[in-house]
Structure 1
């Protein structure tokens, strides 16, 4: 996508995702890793809902952020890392479903700043339903021992 040597980005994303305590606590699963696209799935769990029984907006935002961040991770060189510096989430429909799919895709790659768009879908009876979208800005981090992988 950008001509950079991204190395074995799939394995780097998988290893980094496995170290994410937040995604593990939520029960999120990395299901697709391609150049500039990452998908994460999450089963419905009553512990992740708000007072009306819908998937909590904070959970939706966190998983969309992870999907967009890891999509950015696929387009950078192996010795760099990613930190989110800004995002905006639009909640379009209640988070009601048996499972949820979160897709992050790179909109604008860059050497320092990367923009990604995310979509969250509820999966249940019938076709998948778009429940949220995100636009996120990620910063590429290089040369910091405290921010790796």
Structure 2
């Protein structure tokens, strides 16, 4: 984590989430924010499925990427921003459930590059089921025109 004061990262994450039109189109909700960890949930919606009626891999990837990115916001300077530069997703089980939980956690903070790991869970009858994992690499952006915290 950077030694700089990250300010009120809760408020910055809420403001950035509010500007995420893609997440709103998915019905995503920001449900938990802690330093180095963020959770996003979304309800099942048939509009988010692929041809077999399970949650589309693109939706899973977008939600995990966002959870990891917002977790990164919690450990950077208040003036900085984040851009994902690489990620890998493992789809572990079909996305079937009433709701889905996506958790991003910082694995390796840095002054320029941050690595985060994400986990996606299907929630329904019974215990939550792990459906996907992600490893994400993000770049801290400072002073770039058009990109701000």
1:117-142 CA distance string (max 9 Å, x none): 00000000000000000000000000
1:96-132 CA distance string (max 9 Å, x none): 0000000000000000000000000000000000000
Residue 112 of structure 2 aligns with which residue?
112
Q: Residue 145 of structure 1: CA displacement?
A: 2.7
Residue pair 2:2, 2:111 contacting (<8 A) in 1 also: no
The SS at the match of 2:126 is coil
Q: Which runs of 4+ in 1 moved over 4 A?
A: none
Flag structure 1 segments of 5+ consecutive residues without an equivalent: none
The SS at the match of 1:47 is helix
Does 2:36 match 1:26?
A: no
**d(CA) in 1 for partners of 2:63 and 2:4?**
26
Residue 38 of structure 2 aligns with which residue?
38
**Alignment coverage as a number of residue pairs:** 149
**d(CA) in 2 for partners of 1:2 and 1:77?**
7
State the superposition RMSD in angstroms.
0.7
Residue 12 of structure 1 aligns with which residue?
12
The SS at the match of 1:22 is helix
**d(CA) in 2 for partners of 1:2 and 1:125?**
41
Residue 73 of structure 1 aligns with which residue?
73
The SS at the match of 1:7 is coil
**d(CA) in 1 for partners of 2:131 and 2:3?**
34
